[in-house]
Amino acid sequence: MKSIIAASIMSACALAGWGAGNDITVRADRAGAVVQPTMYGLFFEDINFAADGGLYAEMVKNRSFEFPQHLQGWRAFGNVELRSDGPFERNPHYVRLSPSGHAHKHTGVDNEGFFGVSVRRGEEYRFSVWARSATADTARMRVELIDPSTSRRTQVVASAAVAAAPGEWRCYEAVLTPDATVAKGRLRIFLEGSATADIEHVSLFPADTWKGRRGGLRRDLAQKLADLHPGLLRFPGGCIVEGTDLPTRYQWKNTVGPVENRPLNENRWHYTFTNRFFPDYYQSYGLGFYEYFLLAEDIGAEPLPVMNVGLSCQYQNEADSAHVPLDSLQPYIDDVLDLIEFANGDTSTRWGALRASMGHPAPFGLKYVAIGNEQWSEPYTQRLAPFVKAVRERYPDIRIVGSSGPDPEGDKFDYLWPEMARIGADLVDEHYYRNEEWFLRNATRYDGYDRRGPAVFAGEYACHGADGRNYNHFNAALMEAALMTGLERNADIVHMATYAPLLAHTEGWQWRPDMIWFDNFGSVATSSYYVQQLFACNRGERVLPATMDGKPVAGQNGLYASAVTDGDGGFIVKIVNTGDTPQHVNLTFAGLKKKRALETVVATVLSADDPLDENTLDNPARVVPETETLSAAITERDAVALEVAPHSFGVYHVR
């Protein structure tokens, strides 16, 4: 990493190759629109193994034996039988382990986990299993964590005994503490003794989860989300809201209540791209709507659930018959109304009582709901209208997010925006996965938007580099920062923005770039993560006009800029230099109160040696922000001189 902050003023253009002086005027006396607390948020979708195998810390794949190939993820040995009259109505399958009939032959099952069962030496892992003895005697089992590839004397790195009593199904627990670190391990359960055991919902979690919650979230990943200080959490998708077809759409009611009885759903991303094919990608719903609301609360973000509008994925289902007929939408509308009751209803209501029974009697304070993901044309608008009417009638304070389709321009987009206004959506969700040139061009996108219509939610966006640069390099993040100065400048109508996708497993991704990459042991924040974090942590309070030659700073000499008040008498100016040359910037704070003189400038700058640098699990700190006080940058009572490095994004906090 190189030092990228020029710590002192230099006479303008003193350095060879420096661009001419750039005079940016910030109107300190013209505080405009409030930057909404929801402005910089997160979009979580279970893509790239973001939930099972990712944020949801469960380590056992197919824990309820409900994958269509019921033993997928498992290896059975000995006398193993799949049965379907288990204790959990919506997950009826389980396995019966019976003695092999020979003292030296064993019966059991191994689970391969998500890309391995990965455990660290000395850490605790909580094993649990629902079990019973199917015979008159106690059924004895051994549970082991094993390293199949080891050259050690033993494969076993942790072991515990479980004894299941005859009769009722019960949950048995054991803590496993491995004596070695294993990256590609397995969980093994096998029978000891002569009794027969039935086992169901086999689970293994690290004891050290986010906030120490049992059955909770991976701590490193949840912490990274919290560290972004997001104002919004959009969930659960994305395309998984729609499913590949209606039966596989996301149904929130299947994701609440005891985890053992949440029915499995396939994950549409397991076969969407056949070049990245993951036939074992399913949704256990262990991370369900209750957990999403809790996460939003934990990280201080407004929850924004996205609901199905009665349409399956329109890319994959063109026939009308693939969608819900207009006269049969009521159950879908009820899903939205019931969700609002689940989040906000008091404990005397049906769904509010369920929320309370799960551990949260206080309402979650839901304010927003999105209806439809990337939908388009009349099939969408005809369906959306009755949803809006029903929500307005029952919950007039809930703000509704509609869609502008999958593209940020074109016929679908042009049709949908006026339709969203007509139907009465409060916000319109725009998605843009575009290249560098598009991002820079669209830094002025919202300057001309109609201020009388719905507000904008940039619900999914990321710079997808052109010409094979479709990954998380620094330059993509820089393009995003440039565009985001345009979001901030237009905070009067842009109220929410969420980069997408959020999480990706290095061994299980379908889509890139993504904001955070992880494997089973660790995670890495990309340059895009740091851009998001710098905007969110420096959201400020109100927008200030920032101009160069009387125009918004959007491309002059490769510069992009926005400015806000900090809410405490100071100013935050964000400057992106997309060019190859350093730029000398004179910032003048026009209209500063007469008795006021600027005192300090603290610069936090994100830059890279090479614009194509990226952070990786092996080298996570190649591109990280650096903070420095620019003690000599104040040139006048109301003026600051900065040397802005090429290919850099800087946040300048001026007080």
Instruction: Specify the residue, 403 or 523, whose C-beta has the smaller distance to ligand AHR.
Output: 403
Contact 460, 404 (CB under 8 A): no
Query: Based on CB atoms, which residue is closest to ligand AHR, 66 or 460?
Result: 460
Question: Does 607 help bind ligand AHR (rule: CB under 6 A)?
Answer: no
| Total chain residues near ligand AHR (CB under 6 A) | 13
State the nearest-atom distance from the C-beta of 589 to ligand AHR, in Å. Answer: 39
With a CB cutoff of 8 Å and minimum separation 6, the contacts of 46 are 52, 236, 237, 240, 267, 269, 283, 287
* Count of helices and strands (H, E) across the chain: 9, 36
Q: Does 526 bind ligand AHR (CB under 6 A)?
A: no
Inter-residue contact 523 to 448 (CB < 8 Å): no
Which DSSP helix (H) or strand (E) runs through 342?
helix 330-344
Which of 518, 521, 441, 512 is CA-nearest to residue 482? 441
90: left (phi over 0), alpha (psi -120 to 50) or beta: alpha
Three-state DSSP class for 302? strand
Please say which residue, 216 or 238, places its beta carbon nearer to ligand AHR. Answer: 238
Q: Residue 269 Cβ, how far from ligand AHR at the closest point, in Å? A: 8
Q: Phi, psi at residue 28, to the nearest 5°?
A: -65, -20
Query: 300: helix, coil or strand?
Result: coil
Q: Is there binding between residue 237 and ligand AHR (CB under 6 A)?
A: yes
113 makes contact with ligand AHR (CB under 6 A): no
Q: Single out the residue of 373, 381, 442, 527 in contact with ligand AHR (rule: CB under 6 A).
A: 373
CB of 461 to ligand AHR, least distance (A): 9
Q: Using the minimum distance from each CB to ligand AHR, give the nearer residue, 404 or 557.
A: 404
Stretch that binds ligand AHR, among 34-42, 64-72, 231-239, 605-613 (CB under 6 A): 231-239
Applying CB under 6 A, among 18, 35, 39, 45 the residue interacting with ligand AHR is 45
Which residues, in sequence order, are CB contacts of 484 under 8 Å at separation 6+?
497, 531, 535, 562, 574
Within 472-491, the residues that bind ligand AHR by CB under 6 A are none
Q: Which of residues 126-145 bind ligand AHR (CB under 6 A)?
A: none
Min dist CB 12 to ligand AHR, Å, is 44
Determine the interface stretch with ligand AHR among 144-152, 232-240, 396-404, 482-490 (rule: CB under 6 A). Answer: 232-240
Alpha-carbon distance 353 to 340, whole Å?
13
501 binds ligand AHR (CB under 6 A): yes
| Short-list 441, 257, 233, CA closest to 342 | 257
E-strand ranges in 194-259 read 197-206, 232-235
The distance of Cα 462 from the centroid of its chain, to the nearest Å, equals 13
Nearer to ligand AHR, 374 or 614 (CB): 374
List 58, 260, 460, 488, residue binding ligand AHR (CB under 6 A): 460
The nearer residue to ligand AHR, 73 or 406, going by C-beta atoms, is 406
Is 508 one of the binding residues for ligand AHR (CB under 6 A)?
A: no
Tokens of 312: 């399956």
- Within 10 Å of residue 166's Cβ, how many Cβ atoms? 14
Q: Are strands 232-235 and 40-43 parallel, antiparallel or unpaired?
A: parallel
| Marked catalytic residue, from 374, 430, 436, 460 | 374
Q: How far is the CB of 500 from ligand AHR (least distance, A)?
A: 4
What is the spatial distance between Cα 411 and Cα 398, in angstroms, rounded to a whole number? Answer: 29
In the complex, minimum distance from the CB of residue 374 to ligand AHR, in angstroms, rounded to a whole number: 5
- Cβ nearer to ligand AHR, comparing 56 with 395: 56
Query: Taking the complex as a whole, how short is the minimal distance between the CB of residue 77 and ligand AHR, in angstroms?
Result: 39
3-state secondary structure 9-78: CCCCCCCCCCEEEEEEEEECCCCCCECCCCCEEEECCCCCCCCECCCECCCCCCCCCCCCCCCCCEEEEC
Q: Residues 330 to 369: which contact ligand AHR by CB under 6 A? A: none
CA 472 to CA 587: how far, in whole Å?
A: 31
Query: 497 vs 576, which CB is nearer to ligand AHR?
Result: 497
| Shortest Å, Cβ 233 to ligand AHR | 15
Answer yes or no whether residue 408 interacts with ligand AHR by CB under 6 A.
no
Q: Is 266 in the site for ligand AHR (CB under 6 A)?
A: no
Which residue is at the shortest CB distance from ligand AHR?
238
DSSP string, 422-440: HHT-SEEEEEEEE-HHHHH
Which residue is listed with tokens 């952070």? 615
Among 500, 543, 630, 644, binds ligand AHR (CB under 6 A): 500
**Going by DSSP bridges, is the β-strand pair 368-371/399-403 parallel, antiparallel, or unpaired?**
parallel
What's the min distance (Å) between Cβ of 510 and ligand AHR? 9
Q: Which is nearer to ligand AHR, 460 or 643 (CB)?
A: 460
**Sequence-separated (6 or more) residues with CB below 8 Å from residue 447:** 486, 489, 490, 552, 554
- Does 66 qualify as catalytic in the annotation? no
CB nearer ligand AHR, residue 25 or residue 472: 472
**Contact between 239 and ligand AHR (CB under 6 A)?**
yes
Q: Which one of 169-177, 237-245, 476-484, 591-599 is the stretch in contact with ligand AHR (CB under 6 A)?
A: 237-245
CB-wise, 18 or 511, nearer to ligand AHR?
A: 511
Stretch that binds ligand AHR, among 148-156, 236-244, 355-363, 411-419 (CB under 6 A): 236-244
Which residues make beta-bridge pairs with 457? Answer: 429, 496
The nearer residue to ligand AHR, 40 or 210, going by C-beta atoms, is 40
CB of 287 to ligand AHR, least distance (A): 16
Give the bridge partners for 411, in sequence order: none
Interacting stretch for ligand AHR, rule CB under 6 A, among 150-158, 235-243, 388-396, 575-583?
235-243
CB of 459 to ligand AHR, least distance (A): 8
Position 374 contacts ligand AHR (CB under 6 A) = yes
Q: Is residue 47 near ligand AHR by the rule CB under 6 A? A: yes
Q: How many CB atoms lie within 10 A of CB 648?
A: 23
DSSP E strands in 165-224: the ranges are 170-176, 182-192, 197-206
Chain contacts with ligand AHR (rule: CB under 6 A) = 45, 47, 237-239, 373-374, 406, 431, 460, 500-501, 511
Instruction: Give catalytic residues, as residue numbers.
Output: 374
